[in-house]
Each structure stands twice: as C-alpha cells, then as structure tokens.
Amino acid sequence: MAKDIKTGPKHVAIIMDGNGRWAQMRGRPRLFGHHAGARRVRDIVEACPDQGVKYLTMFAFSTENWKRTQTEVAGLMKLFRRYIQREARDLLSNGVRVRFIGDRVRLDDKLVNLMDELELLTSQNDKCHLTIAINYGGRDEVARATKRLAYDVAQGRLDPKNINDETLPKYLDTCFLPDPDLVIRTSGEARISNFLLWQSAYAEYEFIDTLWPDFTPDVFADVLAGFKTRDRRFGAVKA
C-alpha cells in the first residue's frame, strides 16, 4: 500500500512581527530591533534550501506602516537600502532570486533603483526565490490589479465573459509565484494584517509566540516539521 508521505511547504510566507518589543525588552530603540530582524532574514533565507523551501515571501513594510513615526519609517527605508547593498553579492552566489512586491510609487528613487538592480542581478537564479513585500497591502494589491484588469477590458484585450478565478492572479504583484502553503506570524499576534489576502485562500497558518529577532533556523525547522503533520484537504473529504 502506498505510504502517505507528507511533504513540507514549497512556499512559506512570513509576517515578521515583534522587532519593537524585542528592542524594548532590552531598553533599546525600536530600530535596534529592526536591525536584529534584518539579520534573521539572512539566516532564514540561508536555511530554505536545506528545508526544501523553494519560495520565501517576507512582509517587510505594509501600506499601513507609514503611520509610524518619521524616525522609524526613515530608519526602516535606510535599513532596506543597506540590506540590499550588503546582501546582494551573497544572495547572487547562493542562488537566490530576489523580487519585490508592493506599490513602488511611494518609495524613494534610491531604494527603487536598488530594488530594480537586485532583481536584475539575481534574475538567472533558481535555487530559492525570495520575495520581499515593501509598501505592500493585500487590498491595495487587489485594487491595483483590478484597475489593470479593467483597463485591459476597456482596451478590448480582455473579454469580461472570460473572467474567472484564474484571471485576477495574473494581474497581482505575485503573478510569478505559486500560492503560499504556509503563512507564519511571529510575536503571538493572531491576525493576517492585509498580507497575501487572495493568495492565502488555502494556506495553513502558524501563529507563534517567538519574537522575530529570536526566530532562529531551529525554530523555523520546528514550524516546518509541524506543517507536515497537518492534513490539507483543500475542501475535499479524505478518501
């Protein structure tokens, strides 16, 4: 009899939460926590190939995060620029293809140029696909996708009669990605905060108490092991 071997997730998406609390617990400013968080991004990206995770999508900055103080927002933008500059070479040599999702219109030109360059630099890599969400919101993404779709209808390139649930994903920022199998949120909060709303329809969710800067590759491995014990039925009943 064929054995029911459960495979690990191919696409993991992570809401990296808890940097601020991690810093506060150490009596340090919030940005100290974000810097520690950026080092964890590096660790987790490096852990993916051994864990069989081909696609990793990280929520770095939401469309709502602009409401934070100017100091924190500016610090995060600087951190993203530094991350790209510092990590580019290793990402390239480690076979990581990097892409960004979110609305770039509100981002400063320097950051957008670095994002474009990193996407181009790593475009031939295929070992691991890292997608970083900056100025990303699920509702905003669906609204922007709908606008493009409506434009195609108006231009006669798309017949409304042919629109189905496979049409919209082609207009989403994530059109190059499979849907996530597993969405992880750190820091004990159990909400999805506008992340990958359409794409996560059948994702498994894991809400864990660990703060993002404490999310080591060992914690990651434990979460992935837990995923394998789950029974994914996609709406069907077990045979």
Part in contact with ligand FPP (CB under 6 A); list of ranges 18-26, 102-110, 171-179, 226-234 = 18-26
Using the minimum distance from each CB to ligand FPP, give the nearer residue, 131 or 145: 131
43 counts as catalytic: no
Tell whether residue 17 is a contact of ligand FPP (CB under 6 A).
Answer: yes
Spatial contact of 60 and 134, defined as CB atoms under 8 Å apart: yes
How far apart CA 90 and CA 88 sit, in angstroms, is: 6
Using the minimum distance from each CB to ligand FPP, give the nearer residue, 111 or 182: 111
Spatial contact of 39 and 216, defined as CB atoms under 8 Å apart: no
Binds ligand FPP (CB under 6 A): choice among 13, 58, 177, 192: 58
Binding flags for ligand FPP, 81-110, as an x/- string (CB under 6 A): --x---------------------------
125 counts as catalytic: no
Hey, which residues between 21 and 40 contact ligand FPP (CB under 6 A)? 21, 30, 34, 37-38
Give the distance from CA 95 to its chain's centroid.
18
Binding flags for ligand FPP, 126-165, as an x/- string (CB under 6 A): ------x---------------------------------
Indicate the burial class of 211 (C-beta count within 10 angstroms; 0-12, 13-18, 19 or more): buried
How far apart CA 237 and CA 220 sit, in angstroms, is: 30
How are beta strands 182-185 and 128-136 bridged, if at all? unpaired
Counting residues that bind ligand FPP (by CB under 6 A) gives 20
Using the minimum distance from each CB to ligand FPP, give the nearer residue, 135 or 145: 135
In whole angstroms, the minimum distance from the beta carbon of 200 to ligand FPP comes to: 18
Tell whether residue 208 is a contact of ligand FPP (CB under 6 A).
Answer: no
Query: Per the annotation, where are the binding residues?
Result: 17-22, 30, 34, 62-64, 66, 68, 185, 191-193, 204
Catalytic residue numbers read 17, 65
Query: Per the annotation, where are the binding residues for Mg(2+)?
Result: 17, 204
Binding site for ligand FPP (CB under 6 A): 16-21, 30, 34, 37-38, 41, 58, 60, 65, 79-80, 83, 132, 187, 212
